[in-house]
Amino acid sequence: MGLLEGSRYSILSNGTLEIKHTKLQDHGKYHCIASNVIGRDEMETDLEVKEPTKIIRAPTNVVAVKGSLAQFDCEIQSDPTLEVKVTWLKDNKFLIFGRRMTKDEDSMSIAGVYRRDEGIYTCRVKTEIEEISASAKLTVMEYLVQYTEDLLADYWLVASGWKNLTSYPGQLNSVMLKLTPFVEYQFRVVAINEIGASKPSKPSPYYETGGAVPDAIPRNIKGVGTGVFRNNMEISWEPLEYREWNGPKLGYMVWWRRRDSREEWKNYTTYWWCSHIIYDTDTFTPYEIKVQAVNYFGLGPESPVIIGYSGEDRPTAAPTDLHVSDVESTKLTVHWEPVPQDSIMGEIKEYTVYYWRESSRLPHHSVTTRIKSKSFKANGPRLSGTLTGLIPYSNYKMYIVVANNRYEGPPSNRIEFQTLEGVPSIPRSFRIMHRHYDTIYLDWEEPAEPNGILTGYLLKYQTLNVSAGERILVEEIPPNTTHFSLRRFDRYTRYRFSLSAQTEVGMGEAFTEESPHFTTEGKNTCSAI
């Protein structure tokens, strides 16, 4: 064991040993000896020196033809005693390897590359003592075929600008295109590489494709009652786009028949509209419906059969056994028995409860009567729902109706119920007044909604220059008293007041206010809050 000498070694002011430009031969045991006039102490520690981790063959930028294989190398050299973990990222996001993206010990590969694979690929190497990385860019080379089309509608040409049709690998110079019938096309080609897109080629001559029967199915087919009439059904659908016509004289053949009947399909062909109305139907009767496009060349494929319904009528029955339970101050549960299915005269939509506050349970407390409603979905053989937002300590009335998609039925029996007490709202018109040199007067009005029988007011106050440990003073004031007076310590003392009303249920929201600066002493002054 010898002393450390040389410029690579430094002992810092706190006794720490610093070794610069470490070498493998620095590996070993190190002794630290400390001594003073009182005594001596020493400690031993081990230093391990590892070979640095290096990427000896880093990934390089790759330009690949669309559909080909792209490969990035990442060969590692590291200390054999260290565990090395290699991960790959694309644009700083971890790659998920599978059938198309694979990796081995020294590289990763992407089969069948396309434009979405373009980006920055990073090889990240991590050991327990360090982390290094290297990145490279992937560019996918391809040709982009563009086209412009004139759709040959019955009486006009519907022109369009240049659009991208599809892209192809860079090694091709001819392709087969999948086009739309009964369209006039013009083409051009754009080359794309890592720098960007070239100028388009000179456009080709115009080419017109032949016509064919429609191959698209009308979408969003519906059958519903329409207007004020109850004995009809309107069958409607979305029109085909022009490029789906495939030929001139586009129309639609509409088919319908009653469901669960042996009657033959009826049909009607329309060339101008995207709807057809069937008259003289029974109320809310199910029909099987299908629609197919037709043009000069023939009929297109039939749509799947959908079920539509003729017009709805007013429900004939009202829900029964309306009652409430679990009544609280602001909410309750409402229950009712459903109506028979055949009385709904349509598809059941919801049950709607109508309710209103008839009066307060407090004498001489006036209220505003306003009818409110809440709708509930049908969710079982015996129905219920929660009604919230009620005002405490009030008398309410309620009834319920059933509704289909067009009408509400007759009202149920009307019931009455009472909500329980709650906590009061905030006291009103709180004022701080100064009428004498040494006295502050407070007055207020009772809450707009007492929400029960008031049992009193709670007033809390303290001086504004109160110290952290000084207590807050509390006054309990009877319910029929709406004023309070307080003697001040001196003419400059200001207070913070907090006033709340309370019932047997509890204390309501507090009104908090600070006394103002009174500029005139000995005269009546007032601050109304």
On whether both 63 and 189 belong to a single domain, the answer is: yes
Residue 364, domain CATH: 2.60.40.10
Max Cα–Cα distance, the chain, nearest Å: 118
Instruction: Establish if 143 belongs to a structural domain.
Output: yes
* Gap between the Cα atoms of 200 and 188, Å rounded: 6
On whether both 187 and 241 belong to a single domain, the answer is: no
What is residue 26's DSSP assignment? G
Instruction: Establish if 1 belongs to a structural domain.
Output: no
Q: Indicate whether 150 pLDDT > 80.
A: no
Instruction: Establish if 331 belongs to a structural domain.
Output: yes
Instruction: Establish if 362 belongs to a structural domain.
Output: yes
Q: Band of the pLDDT at 26, cuts 50, 70, 90? A: confident
- Domain with 33, as residue range(s), is 9-47
Instruction: Establish if 314 belongs to a structural domain.
Output: no
Domain C-terminal end among 309, 341, 366 = 309
| Choice among 61-65, 151-155, 267-271, 379-383 with the minimum mean pLDDT | 151-155
| Choice among 41-55, 224-238, 432-446, 457-471 with the minimum mean pLDDT | 457-471
What value does the mean pLDDT take over residues 137-161? 66
Between the two ends of the chain, the Cα-to-Cα distance in Å is: 86
Contact 353, 331 (CB under 8 A): no
The alpha carbon dihedral of 200, 206, 211, 217 has a sign of: positive
- pLDDT tens figures, 382-397: 789 999 999 999 999 9
Measured CA to CA in angstroms, residue 433 lies from 165, 362, 441, 485, 525 at distances of 82, 31, 5, 9, 6
On whether both 67 and 177 belong to a single domain, the answer is: yes
On whether both 137 and 152 belong to a single domain, the answer is: yes
On whether both 191 and 242 belong to a single domain, the answer is: no
On whether both 282 and 191 belong to a single domain, the answer is: no
Instruction: Establish if 4 belongs to a structural domain.
Output: no
- pLDDT tens figures, 455-471: 999 999 988 765 545 67
On whether both 242 and 324 belong to a single domain, the answer is: no
Q: Which residue has the tokens 């690579």?
A: 8
Question: For every residue of 96-164, which 3-state class applies, written as one string?
Answer: CCCCCEEECCCEEEECCCCHHHCEEEEEEEECCCCEEEEEEEEEEEEEEEEEEEEEECCCCEEECCCEE
Contact 183, 209 (CB under 8 A): yes
Instruction: Establish if 423 belongs to a structural domain.
Output: no
Instruction: Establish if 285 belongs to a structural domain.
Output: yes
* Gap between the Cα atoms of 247 and 183, Å rounded: 9
On whether both 289 and 226 belong to a single domain, the answer is: yes
Number of domains in the chain: 5
